[in-house]
Amino acid sequence: MSIRRKINALRQLLAVFRYSGRAIGLVWTTNRTLTISIAALTLIAGLLPAAVAYIGKLIVDAVVQARNVGTFNSGISNSLYHPLIYVGLEAIAIALLAASQRGLTVCQSLLRVLLAQRVNVLILEKALTLELAQFEDSEFYDKMSNARREASTRPLSLVNRTFGLVQSALSLLTYGALLVSFSLWAVFILVLAAIPAFIAETKFAGQAFRLFRWRAPETRQQRYLETLVAREDFAKEVKLYKLGEMLLGRYHNIFHQIYGEDKNLTLRRGLWGYLLSLLSTGALYLAYGWIVIETVANRISLGEMTMYLTVFRQGQRTFSEALTSIGGMYEDNLYLSNLYEFLEEKVPQSRGEATKGIYPGDGIRFENVSFSYPGSSKPALKNISFHLQPGEKLAIVGENGSGKTTLIKLLTRLYNPESGRILLDGLDLQEWDVEVLRQRISVIFQNFVRYQFTVGENIGVGEVENLEDSSRWEVAAEMGMARPFIKNLPQGFRTQLGRWFKGGQELSGGQWQKIALSRAFMRSKAEILVLDEPTSAMDPQAEFEIFNHFRTSTKSQMVFLISHRFSTVRMADKILVIEFGEIIEEGTHEELLQLQGLYAKLFHLQAAGYR
């Protein structure tokens, strides 16, 4: 084997320890005092067992000696002195050992809470810096949900196992040191016999690590199925469409596939683990027999024999504990590798810093904007160009999937155009400070969020700086036409919404939309209002009133309105008709009717439906 391959093999073998250093680093930066305490206590807990074994030897030897002396001199109280001192010493050592073990448990409990909070905050802070595209990337989403799932237990578990391993290694080393006085050969044979089991365990742990990594998509699918079956917002459809059996069937199938692989590995691991540990047990008992022979031949003292026997028994236990630690470490490593991949994912830095445009009052310009979603070969938007001045209301019409929402995502800089430019007040959106830009835009998406907060907070999130400002809620609710029904809720603006929390009240689809619309009005200084199908669930009367009201209350604002209802669309100053990502018609309602194109066709189709 070439040196490089040897190094690779060794690296693969040691992969199971790869993240231990990082885990300890994480703990160190979380709380130094606790980390130092754990390290010190580990040291004590690792060294004391050998000391106890040594004191055991001193006791037996002192007793044997005292018995001999006692037989000759009958000065029993004198000869008791040494053995009792040693017994006292052992008691102290045992008390110290217990204290160090208890101390370790206490420190670990404290650290668990601190570390869980730290890791969760790291994950959430990172999530806040991510781009929308990253949330939509399934592999990346996998990483984030995996990182969140076990954030409270895994990092500490790895630290505990690493320190546990250090403790075992220290104990084994000191046991070895005690044995050296008996025979260097014995130590050598014992170490040699232990190596295969150690290597096998490390290797299997590494294999399990890789197996689990490949499997992330299946595990996520399983979790998704669990969510479908067990969550309130899916329960309606699952029941009515009788999806339960099908979902459980899929759940079982994934499980059986995973279980097959697991079983194989577990069986191999169990069998090899047992066979190889037999080797070290055999070596141990060989040495054991050797010691018995030496004692009978009077070449070592009874005290020494007691010590060696203790060392053997405890050494055997410590060794198997160490193997178990290694066996468990792969899962923790798996978690940490995923966590760090997530935390280290690159986030494109926004370079824009401008807080105002070159031509204030120029409005919005799209110049030959094209865009394709990552991984998609078909452009979602092609060569979009138009100009909207302050105060103008623009309606965007098109069939499902024509690219309307995509246009809004580009306008709000959730995605960036592939080619072309979008200008606000004469300045490319890329040049704008993204915070300032977003302050100027108020958006309600088709699938807006129904926060499980109070009514007031649901409106207040539209401008988080004024989240709790109840007078602003009222004005916004008035503009969003939500005021009348809010008044009838049991606690008005303070009513808890949704079913997740106690006393929560559920709203109808149209009522939720009115809340969302009010949310858009919360950002009173926004110059650009974007409403993506804001009234689809409202009754026609409400919709008519909202838009009449809307026109008068948003005189100076630019409005982007996406709607499939022509009664609303016709009120706009300008209408874009989009098909397959391209603008195919543009003008006012009257102009487009005269054109007798797609707009006119769709308008008449809908009007006929109402007649």
Ligand X SMILES: Nc1ncnc2c1ncn2[C@@H]1O[C@H](COP(=O)(O)OP(=O)(O)OP(=O)(O)O)[C@@H](O)[C@H]1O
State which residue, 135 or 259, has the beta carbon closest to ligand X: 135
Distance, CA of 378 to CA of 141 (rounded, Å): 23
Q: How many Cα neighbours within 13 Å face the side chain of 310?
A: 21
User: How many of the other CB atoms lie within 10 Å of CB of 355?
Assistant: 11
Q: How far is the CB of 375 from ligand X (least distance, A)?
A: 7
State which residue, 25 or 401, has the beta carbon closest to ligand X: 401
Q: How far is the CB of 192 from ligand X (least distance, A)?
A: 59
- Which residues in 419-448 contact ligand X (CB under 6 A)? 446
State which residue, 120 or 446, has the beta carbon closest to ligand X: 446
Give Cβ neighbours of residue 280 (< 8 Å, ≥ 6 apart).
Answer: 190, 193, 194, 197, 316, 319
Q: How far is the CB of 380 from ligand X (least distance, A)?
A: 4
Q: How far is the CB of 396 from ligand X (least distance, A)?
A: 8
Question: What single DSSP character describes residue 349?
Answer: P
Closest CA to 322 of 17, 37, 39: 17
User: What binding mask, one character per residue, do residues 156-175 give for ligand X by CB under 6 A, x or -?
Assistant: --------------------
Contact stretch for ligand X (CB under 6 A) within 48-56, 262-270, 300-308, 399-407? 399-407
State which residue, 207 or 446, has the beta carbon closest to ligand X: 446
Q: How far is the CB of 379 from ligand X (least distance, A)?
A: 9
Regarding 404 and contact with ligand X (CB under 6 A), the answer is: yes
Tokens 């810093």 -> residue: 353
State which residue, 207 or 405, has the beta carbon closest to ligand X: 405
Regarding 379 and contact with ligand X (CB under 6 A), the answer is: no
Regarding 397 and contact with ligand X (CB under 6 A), the answer is: no
Q: How far is the CB of 381 from ligand X (least distance, A)?
A: 8
Report CA torsion sign: 74, 76, 81, 82: positive
Contact stretch for ligand X (CB under 6 A) within 5-13, 104-112, 400-408, 423-431? 400-408
Q: Which two tokens stand for residue 126?
A: 């990172």
- Which residues in 127-146 contact ligand X (CB under 6 A)? 136
Distance, CA of 194 to CA of 199 (rounded, Å): 9
- Which helix (DSSP H) or strand (DSSP E) does residue 366 occupy? strand 364-371
Question: What single DSSP character describes residue 348?
Answer: P
Which of 71, 298, 377, 400 is the binder for ligand X (CB under 6 A)? 400
Which of 402, 466, 554, 568 is the binder for ligand X (CB under 6 A)? 402
Cβ atoms of 17 and 329 closer than 8 Å: yes
Q: How far is the CB of 401 from ligand X (least distance, A)?
A: 4
Q: What is the largest CA-CA distance in the chain?
A: 130
In three-state secondary structure terms, 401 is coil
Regarding 565 and contact with ligand X (CB under 6 A), the answer is: no
State which residue, 262 or 582, has the beta carbon closest to ligand X: 582
Which of 31, 405, 439, 524 is the binder for ligand X (CB under 6 A)? 405
Tokens 């209350």 -> residue: 553
Distance, CA of 315 to CA of 571 (rounded, Å): 85
State which residue, 47 or 414, has the beta carbon closest to ligand X: 414
Regarding 314 and contact with ligand X (CB under 6 A), the answer is: no
Angle between helix axes 302-343 and 76-129 (nearest 10 degrees) is 10
Q: What is the 3-state secondary structure (H, E, C) of 15-81?
A: HHHCCHHHHHHHHHHHCHHHHHHHHHHHHHHHHHHHHHHHHHHHHHHHHHHHHHHHHHHCCHHHHHH
- Which residues in 443-472 contact ligand X (CB under 6 A)? 446
State which residue, 136 or 341, has the beta carbon closest to ligand X: 136
State which residue, 168 or 406, has the beta carbon closest to ligand X: 406
Q: How far is the CB of 481 from ligand X (least distance, A)?
A: 23
Regarding 377 and contact with ligand X (CB under 6 A), the answer is: no
Contact stretch for ligand X (CB under 6 A) within 226-234, 324-332, 403-411, 461-469? 403-411
Q: How far is the CB of 604 from ligand X (least distance, A)?
A: 20
Q: How far is the CB of 415 from ligand X (least distance, A)?
A: 9
Helix, strand, coil fractions of the chain, as percent rounded to 5: 70, 10, 20
Distance, CA of 241 to CA of 255 (rounded, Å): 24
Distance, CA of 445 to CA of 457 (rounded, Å): 18
Q: Which two tokens stand for residue 545?
A: 């009133």
Report CA torsion sign: 351, 357, 359, 362: positive
Q: In what order do the strands lie in the sheet with 364-371?
A: 381-388, 364-371, 419-424, 427-428
Regarding 74 and contact with ligand X (CB under 6 A), the answer is: no
In Å, how far are 31, 156, 409, 591 from 113, measured between CA atoms? 11, 9, 39, 66
Give how many residues touch ligand X by CB under 6 A: 13
Which of 164, 398, 460, 534 is the binder for ligand X (CB under 6 A)? 398
State which residue, 161 or 404, has the beta carbon closest to ligand X: 404
- Which helix (DSSP H) or strand (DSSP E) does residue 579 occupy? strand 574-579
Regarding 568 and contact with ligand X (CB under 6 A), the answer is: no
State which residue, 402 or 458, has the beta carbon closest to ligand X: 402
Question: What single DSSP character describes residue 537?
Answer: T
Which of 17, 288, 373, 386 is the binder for ligand X (CB under 6 A)? 373
Regarding 401 and contact with ligand X (CB under 6 A), the answer is: yes
Regarding 327 and contact with ligand X (CB under 6 A), the answer is: no
State which residue, 125 or 136, has the beta carbon closest to ligand X: 136
User: How many of the other CB atoms lie within 10 Å of CB of 475?
Assistant: 16
Which of 49, 164, 403, 460 is the binder for ligand X (CB under 6 A)? 403
Q: Interface with ligand X by CB under 6 A: which residues?
A: 136, 373, 376, 380, 398, 400-406, 446
